[in-house]
């Protein structure tokens, strides 16, 4: 095991008064605060479909915040999940799963995981603790699985041994189809809802020949998936009775979804990567088509329009919010802690490219404020979780990746 030194950085931010707002989360009037994004958009001629769909007013947390680097030396960590005893499961993309204590002790790699295809964006991806862990100690993880003809995203589960050194009785419960020989856009984030359904987010595999599969119900590519914990298909999935459709599909028309969170009311929130512009926040609903690659905000990486260059079409869903330029969103969490009561119900989105956590304030299903947190860390934030005490924990996607705790300054 490795025990890492702790580094602390404190940043206090002041907040202009707003009548009647919580002391830790004051929201300016719509005509007041400028958005936190000041860079020009890549697609300057595109207009949002409705007010507030992009560049929401900036908000600030009044309380002083401090981040603590609890552990370092992790190689490209990707997924983060808390065990019931307060320790953290952390995946490393090259194929290692470790347990990290809240004090920063980093365990040896957990044995028993299947092989991963760790190239490009592939490798060991997300991890979640099963809803019945107290009874069966099952954990679930997603990964790029080497296959005949290439690779694809798979999800496995196994029993974490009592001493946390290995997983046993490993079972692959989902395999995205078809396989493809590529190294990009695997997704893949995992979340259980309160009924025990497992949501799996997938990418379109990036390359031009694969993009159209995001619209093909016969392919898992570019979809959100919903299965039962044992891998079986829920009978109320939207395409169960559709001939030629993959029954595991929940929604379609996605580019590369790397974050999913389930709200207490059952709402499914996902974030996905755009090209140059067009990162999206979606309220991910059963049977809905989110449009990729027919409609999209932003432009191609090489410049120029995406397909027809349109951002809306009848029958295709608009994102709740989008970023142009991109922040490159990783994981997403819904804040429900006591440490920052004014954040309750806010979305926390990991920003890889822009190296921050985006706090999104919601009014119903609309974003009405945005704040950038953890900006002084200066590292790619990959995944986020909220601890029982209300502190926010994050991992950074770096060769020397870190586990970080963000909390009130003491």
Closest CA to 258 of 83, 56, 121: 121
Q: How far, rounded to the nearest angstrom, does the alpha carbon of residue 240 sit from its chain's CA centroid?
A: 26
pLDDT digits (tens, 9 = 90+) for 27-41: 443 446 899 999 999
Higher pLDDT, 11 or 146: 146
Lowest mean pLDDT among 26-30, 82-86, 142-146, 405-409: 26-30
Q: Residue 1: is its pLDDT beyond 80?
A: no
- Give the CATH number of the domain where residue 302 resides: 2.120.10.30
> pLDDT value at position 407?
98
Give the domain range for residue 404. 2-408
Instruction: Please tell me the total count of domains within the chain.
Output: 1
Looking at the annotation, which residues are catalytic? Answer: 185
Rounded Cα distance, 379 and 316, in Å: 35
How confident is the model over 304-351, as pLDDT tens digits? Answer: 999 999 999 999 999 999 999 999 999 999 999 999 999 999 999 999
The overall average pLDDT reported for the chain is 93
Asked if 405 and 386 touch (Cβ cutoff 8 Å), the reply is: no
Q: Is residue 18 over pLDDT 50?
A: no
How far apart CA 175 and CA 161 sit, in angstroms, is 25
Provide mean pLDDT across the span 239-243.
97
pLDDT above 90 covers a percentage of the chain that reads 92
The answer to whether the peptide bond before residue 217 is cis (omega within 30 degrees of 0) is no
DSSP for 248-286 reads TEEEB--SBEEEEEE-TTS-EEEEE--BBB-EEEEE--T
User: What pLDDT sits at residue 32?
Assistant: 61
Would you say residue 15 has pLDDT above 60? no
Please, which pLDDT band fits residue 222 given cuts at 50, 70 and 90?
very high
Q: What is the mean pLDDT of residues 184-205?
A: 98
Apex 169 CA angle, 394 and 96, nearest 5: 35
For residue 140, what pLDDT band results from cuts at 50, 70 and 90? very high
Residue 9: pLDDT above 90? no
Region 371-386 average pLDDT: 97
pLDDT at 199 over 70: yes
Share above pLDDT 70 across residues of the chain, in percent, rounded to a whole number: 92
On the 0-12 / 13-18 / 19+ scale of CB atoms within 10 A, 218 is middle
């Amino acid at each position: 095991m490795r025990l890492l030194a702790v580094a602390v950085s404190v940043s206090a931010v002041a907040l202009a008064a707003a009548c009647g707002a919580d002391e830790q989360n004051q929201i300016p009037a719509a005509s007041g605060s400028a958005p936190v994004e000041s860079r020009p958009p890549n697609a300057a001629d595109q207009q949002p479909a409705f007010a507030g769909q992009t560049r929401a007013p900036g908000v600030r947390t009044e309380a002083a915040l401090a981040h603590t680097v609890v552990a370092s030396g992790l190689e490209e960590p990707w997924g983060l999940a808390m065990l019931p005893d307060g320790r953290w499961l952390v995946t490393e993309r090259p194929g290692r799963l470790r347990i990290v204590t809240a004090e920063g002790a980093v365990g040896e790699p957990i044995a028993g995981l299947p092989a991963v295809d760790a190239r490009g964006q592939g490798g060991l991806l997300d991890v979640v603790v099963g809803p019945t862990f107290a009874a069966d100690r099952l954990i679930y993880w997603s990964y790029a699985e080497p296959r005949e003809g290439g690779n694809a995203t798979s999800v496995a589960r196994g029993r974490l041994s009592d001493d946390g050194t290995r997983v046993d009785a490993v079972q692959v419960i989902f395999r995205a189809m078809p396989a493809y020989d590529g190294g990009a856009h695997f997704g893949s984030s995992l979340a259980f809802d309160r009924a025990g359904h497992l949501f799996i987010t997938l990418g379109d595999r990036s390359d031009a020949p694969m993009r159209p599969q995001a619209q093909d119900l016969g392919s898992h590519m570019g979809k959100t998936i919903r299965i039962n914990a044992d891998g079986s298909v829920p009978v109320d999935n939207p395409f169960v009775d559709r001939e030629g459709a993959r029954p595991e599909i929940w929604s379609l028309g996605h580019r590369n979804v790397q974050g999913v969170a389930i709200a207490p009311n059952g709402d499914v929130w996902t974030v996905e990567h755009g090209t140059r512009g067009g990162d999206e926040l979606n309220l991910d609903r059963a049977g809905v088509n989110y449009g990729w690659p027919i409609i999209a905000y932003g432009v191609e990486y090489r410049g120029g329009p995406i397909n027809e260059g349109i951002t809306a079409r009848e029958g295709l869903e608009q994102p709740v919010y989008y970023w142009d330029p991109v922040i490159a969103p990783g994981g997403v969490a819904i804040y429900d802690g006591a440490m920052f009561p004014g954040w309750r119900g806010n979305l926390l989105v990991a920003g890889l490219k822009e190296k921050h956590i985006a706090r999104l304030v919601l009014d119903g299903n609309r974003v009405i404020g945005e704040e950038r947190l953890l900006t002084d860390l200066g590292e790619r934030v990959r995944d986020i979780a909220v601890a029982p005490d209300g502190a926010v924990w994050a991992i950074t996607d770096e060769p020397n990746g870190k586990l970080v705790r963000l909390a009130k300054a003491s």
